[in-house]
Amino acid sequence: MFLPLRDDNPLNRIGFQFVTVGLIAACTVVWIVQAIGGDQFDSELIFRLGMIPVTVLGELRREPEMITVTPWLTIVTSMFLHGGFWHLFGNMLYLWIFGDNVEDSMGHWRFALFYLLCGAVAGLTHAAVEPASQVPTIGASGAVSGVLGAYFMLHPRRGVWILVFFMPIRFPAWAVLGLWIGYQVFNALVAGPAGGGVAWYAHIGGFAAGALLVVPLKKRGVPLFDRGLVRSRRRTPYRPPPEAETPGLGPWEEEAADPEADGDAPWQEPPAARPNGSDPQDRGGARGPWGRRPRGPWGRRD
């Protein structure tokens, strides 16, 4: 079991990922409506709002009583429908982990436009590969794949925590996302365009759209491929603290004593001009050999 948990990538330009949370909430509410309505309602809703390639390309028309929106608009409405809980959970988990940083790089409104464009390109890619298909295609997988493609272009060096057989392990994002898109390509070539009920080419088209659209839609000054992260890891030479009097003097070192300073050490002879260490300006009496005034046993000076 391979399940992404989180990434090591905080937000830098926005305070909160409103669009990402809004998309997750919208898909969850629609899925709850599907579940509450029952199987008959769910099937009818999927045929009304799901994307059917043969109708989108205009080769076949739906029955009038089954038309709710125009066929081209079903490319958008199909992004908010899901076939079950685990289908919803997987898409929303990837959107939650990787969508916030893509939204951070674009801003709220640009990210909303980016999400819809990636989903549309993914749906049209599936329709182009399967033009005669009459099976409704639903799910946010194509749009989420675009988010993954944008994240791959923006933050390939960031760490992503993956649950590998109940053990969390940290991998770089380029390895996680590279393995993910490689898995999609492998299944598209081996299982076919819709093998196992999954639109593999929609995932590939969405990933490619996200990797390309992130370049014009990201904010000015946002680097690609974590270039700012590489510069921040450069090492700088050691500089002594400003309070150190001697260059290179650390807080664990003590400054060497000056032998010519006032107050001679006991192992040094007093200077000839000051016998017994006396101070010529001291009018109160002689000092001892350490430069201190001898005191009486009472320890006070009268």
H/E segment holding residue 53: helix 53-56
Crossing angle of helices 200-217 and 108-129, in 10° steps, is 150
User: One-letter amino acid identity for 13?
Assistant: R
pLDDT score recorded for residue 79:
96
Residue 3's beta-bridge partner residues? 163
Q: Assign domain 2-227 one CATH number from 3.40.50.2020, 3.40.220.10, 1.20.1540.10, 3.30.470.30.
A: 1.20.1540.10
- Residues contacting 104, CB < 8 A, separation 6+: 11, 12, 13, 14, 17
pLDDT score recorded for residue 116:
97
pLDDT score recorded for residue 235:
52
- Residues contacting 37, CB < 8 A, separation 6+: 45
User: One-letter amino acid identity for 253?
Assistant: E
3 state SS of 142: helix
Segments of the chain with pLDDT less than 50: 231-233, 277, 280, 282, 284, 286, 301-302
Six-digit token pair at 243?
């309070």
pTM of the model: 0.74
pLDDT score recorded for residue 161:
95
pLDDT score recorded for residue 193:
79
pLDDT score recorded for residue 256:
56
pLDDT score recorded for residue 196:
78
Report the C-alpha gap between 123 and 50 in whole angstroms: 11
In this structure, the number of other CB atoms found within 10 A of the CB of residue 209 comes to 25
Report the C-alpha gap between 97 and 295 in whole angstroms: 77
| Residues in the chain, total | 302
For tokens 């649950």, what's the residue?
163
Domain spans in the chain, listed from the N-terminal domain onward: 2-227
Q: Of 258, 261, 264, 271, which is closest to residue 292 (Cα–Cα)? A: 264
- DSSP-assigned letters across all residues of 152-208: HHH-TTSEEEEEETTEEEEEEHHHHHHHHHHHHHHHHHHT-TTGGG--HHHHHHHHH
pLDDT digits (tens, 9 = 90+) for 94-144: 999 999 999 999 999 999 999 999 999 999 999 999 999 999 999 999 999
Report the C-alpha gap between 122 and 281 in whole angstroms: 96
3 state SS of 224: coil
pLDDT score recorded for residue 131:
92
* Counts of helices then strands in the chain (DSSP H, E): 9, 3
**CA-to-CA separations, 290 to 66, 173, 275, 276, 277, in angstroms, rounded:** 108, 70, 11, 8, 7
pLDDT score recorded for residue 105:
96
Report the C-alpha gap between 89 and 97 in whole angstroms: 12
**Are 188 and 252 in contact, with CB atoms under 8 Å apart?**
no
pLDDT digits (tens, 9 = 90+) for 153-162: 999 999 999 9
User: One-letter amino acid identity for 14?
Assistant: I
